[in-house]
Structure 1
Amino acid sequence: DSVHEGSGADFNSIVSLGLVRNTFELAADMSKSLGVDAGRQEKWRHILKNLSGFATQEKDGVTVFRYTEKGTAWWGGNTLGIQHIYPAGAIGLDSDPKLLEVSRNTIRVMSRWFDGNGMNSFYAAAVRAGYDPEIILQKLREMIEKVGDTNGFTRGNVHGVENCSIVPNAINEMLCMGHQNVLRVFPVWPKDKNARFMSIRVWGAFLVSGELKGGKVLYVKIHSEKGRDCTLVNPWQQQEVDVYLAGKKVETLKGDRFVMKTKAGQTVVLGPAGGRCPISE
C-alpha cells in the first residue's frame, strides 16, 4: 500500500487509514438515512473500532505523523502526510487534543503552503486541525501573490485538479464548518476580523449564514433541506440562545453545544438570548 507513487511496499499508509475510516463512516450514515443494509452496520462498526491508529515519530523536536506504520516515514514534497485530516476527514476539532497537537506539529514541520500538488488539501487540513488562523490567511495571501492567476487557478501547474478551490475551500471551512456532523461558525477565524457569509453548505444538508462583528457573532441562520437534527457548538459560549422562526421566538437553548430538531424546508435564526430577532428571514 504505497503512500506515494513509487514509495514501495508500505504498510498502513496514513492516507489509506483515513480513507477507509471515511468510507465506512459514510456507508453507515447513508445506510441509516436510506433505511437500507441495516444488517451490515455491526460489521462496519467492528471495522471502525479495530482500525489501526496513526503512527507518529519525532521530527524537528516535536511529535509528528509518520507516513506509514512500516515503510516510508516522511516525504519531501506533496501533502500526503496530512490528507488523513483532509480530505479524508479522520481528524477534526472534536478529536483528542493530543492528536490535534500532533496534527498542528505536522503542518508546521511540513510547511507545504506552496506545494503545487497539495495546496488544495494543506490549507483545509490546517483549518480542520485548528491551526493559527492568522498564519493560514497570511500564507493564502502569499500564495496568491506568488503563484495566483487571473482565473483563480495557479500559474505553472499543469495537473488541473490540484488547483481546485484552494482559497474558497479554506475560507469556507474557516467561516463555517460542519465536519463530523457538528456545526461551528467562525471556528478558525481571527475574532478581530469582521466577516459575514451566506448559505455555506455543510454536512447534514444545511445552508448556513452568519456574521461576526466587533469580536461577537451577531446571528446564525440555518436552512434545513432534509429535516435532520442539527448539532451546533454554541457561538455565544455559555450564553443562552434564542431560536426564531418567521421572526418569532420559538425556543431558548443553552449549553456549550445543543441539538436542534429541524423540518425540511425550514429556516431558523439564532441570536443571543434576551434580544430581538437579529435579522429578517
Structure 2
Amino acid sequence: MDVSRIWAKDYYKLPGAYFPHSAYPVDMTMNPYPVPHWGWEVCETPWAVQGLWWHYLYSADTTFLRNRAYTPIKEAVQFLAAYMKRPEAHGGERWKDNKYHIFPTIPPELYALRPGFKYNYDCNIDLTLTKFIFKAFNEMVGILNTQKTDASLLKDVKDILAHFPDYPTAPSEKYGKVLVSVPGEHDKVVYNVPIALATVFPGEDHGLHSNNATMELLKNTYHNQQNEGGNDLVFINLQAARLGLLDIERFKRHVNYSLLPNGTATDMVMQVHGRYSDNTKYDYMGAMGIWFENFALPVVINECLMQSYNGAIRLFPNWNKTDAQFFNLRAAGAFLVSATLQKSMVNNVTITSEKGGRLRIFSPWGKKGNIKRTNSSEKIKDDLIEIDTRAGETIVLQP
C-alpha cells in the first residue's frame, strides 16, 4: 500500500493508490517496475484488489471487509476515478464525447506505447475491471454503512459509470461483430493474454446471465479469439466455461499437452502469428519455473459443475450427459453447495448457508420440485428460487 500510494501521489499527482506491475512479498521501498509499457497497465490496479472483494463475496466475512479489504479497494477506486476525470481523459478535441476514458494505458502483453497513443486507451480489460471494482465499492459502502464518509467518491463513481466508454469491437468477416482488446484493433490479432473475453473473466460483466444479443457477441468473440499459448491455460478455458462453451475433452488435452514431468502445468506455445514463429521452441516457457496461475486449474472444472459469480447459483452449467457429483463447492454469498447428476437428472441438491442471507438458485427442474427446510416444505414456484436463509441452515431441493 505504501509504495502504491507514493506512486499515485508522486508520479501521477493523484490521490489513492496505483498498484505496481510487480510486487514482492517483503516490505518495498520503491516501485520495482516503473517502466512505461507494462508499468502503465491501468488494469493492474483494479485487478490487484479484485481478489479482496471476491474473498468477501464468497465468505460474507464483514470483519475482513472492514479491516482488510476496505482501504485497498477504496484507494484503488480513488485513483481510478481521479485518473478518468483528468482533463486529458475527458472531452476536448481528442474525445469529442461526454465519456470518461482510461487514457493512457497499455493492453497486457500487447503494443506497448504507440505514436499518438494509438491502442493506448479504453482497453477492454481496463474498462471491465474498473467497472467491476466501482460496482464492488458501491456495494461495500452500503454493507459497511460508510455513505457519509465516502459521499464525494460515490458521486464521482456514479458520474463515471453513467458516462462509461463502450467495450471495443471490430467486424469479423467470418463471425460478425466481435469484442477486441482495444479500440481500432482488427479481428485477427493473436493474443498472449485472452483479453477479448476479459468482460467474461475476470471482469464478470458478461456471462450466462447476459441477454441474447450480448451472448451472440460473446460466442462470436470466443470462436474468433486466437491465443498463442501464454498465460491462457486457466484463463481462456474458464472464459469458455462461463459461457457454457467449454469442450471438456479438449480442455483435458490442453492440460495434458502442458504438463511437466513433476506434475505442474506450464504454458505451451499454441500457435504462430503473434510473438511466436514456426521456429519457436514449443515448451520454452517450461524452463522458466512455476507459472503459478496454472495451480488454479481445478476452478475450470468447478465452474463447469456450478457457477455463482453474479449471485445466482447455476448447477451443471457446462456439463455433458456424463454422471457427475460434487460436494460443498463454495458459492457467492457463503453457501456450500452439493449436487448429483445421474442419468441426465439432477438430484441430491443441498445448500448450507454459512452466514444467512438471500439464496438465489436456478431450479434444475423448472417449477416441478420441492424445497425442504428444517421445519417446512414448499413447492418450487419459479425457475429462479429466492429464499432468505438463516446462518447454519441447510436447504434441500428435490425433483
Name stretches of at least 5 consecutive residues in structure 2 with no aligned partner: 1-104, 268-285
Q: Give how far 1:42 is off.
A: 5.5
Match of 2:200 among 77, 81, 85: 85
Q: Give how far 1:197 is off.
A: 0.7
Q: Give how far 1:59 is off.
A: 2.4
Contact persistence 2:207–2:242 (CA under 8 A): yes
TM score, norm. by length of structure 1: 0.85
| 1:122 and 2:236 matched | yes
| 1:18 and 2:128 matched | yes
- Who wins on radius of gyration, i.e. which is larger? 2
SS of 1:269's equivalent?
strand
Match of 1:258 among 364, 367, 385: 385
Query: 261-270 vs 66-75, which deviates more?
Result: 66-75
| 1:30 and 2:140 matched | yes
Query: 223-232 vs 35-44, which deviates more?
Result: 35-44
Question: C-alpha separation between the residues in 2 aligned to 1:238 and 1:42?
Answer: 42
SS of 2:236's equivalent?
helix
Q: Give how far 1:46 is off.
A: 4.0
| 1:97 and 2:212 matched | yes
Match of 2:373 among 229, 245, 256: 245
Question: C-alpha separation between the residues in 1 aligned to 2:178 and 2:225?
Answer: 9
Match of 1:160 among 291, 302, 317: 291
Cα 1:266–1:49 shift into 2, 3 Å: farther
**Deviation per residue, 1:181-231 (Å, 9 max, x gap):** 1111111211x1111111111111111111111111113211111211011
Instruction: Determine which structure has the larger strand proportion and give its number.
Output: 1
TM score, norm. by length of structure 2: 0.61
SS of 2:234's equivalent?
helix
Contact persistence 1:64–1:102 (CA under 8 A): yes
Query: 199-208 vs 93-102, which deviates more?
Result: 93-102
Contact persistence 2:328–2:338 (CA under 8 A): yes
Contact persistence 1:185–1:235 (CA under 8 A): yes
Contact persistence 2:180–2:195 (CA under 8 A): no
Q: Give how far 1:108 is off.
A: 1.6
Query: 50-59 vs 168-177, which deviates more?
Result: 50-59
Q: What does 1:52-91 align with in structure 2 at a 5 Å threshold? A: 52-62=165-175, 63-70=177-184, 75-78=189-192, 79-91=194-206
Question: C-alpha separation between the residues in 2 aligned to 1:258 and 1:82?
Answer: 29
Q: Give how far 1:116 is off.
A: 3.0
Q: Which one-letter code corresponds to 2:147 in the other structure?
A: D
Structure 1 segments of 4+ aligned residues over 6 angstroms from their partners: none
**Deviation per residue, 1:238-281 (Å, 9 max, x gap):** 32x322234x6433221121211111121111112xxxxxxxxx
Q: Give how far 1:92 is off.
A: 1.4
Q: Which one-letter code corresponds to 1:100 in the other structure?
A: M
Taking every aligned residue pair, what percent have the same amino acid on both sides? 25
Instruction: Determine which structure has the larger helix proportion and give its number.
Output: 2
Question: C-alpha separation between the residues in 1 aligned to 2:108 and 2:243?
Answer: 23
Q: Give how far 1:144 is off.
A: 2.2
Name stretches of at least 5 consecutive residues in structure 1 with no aligned partner: 273-281
**Deviation per residue, 1:147-172 (Å, 9 max, x gap):** 22453433716362332312x11111
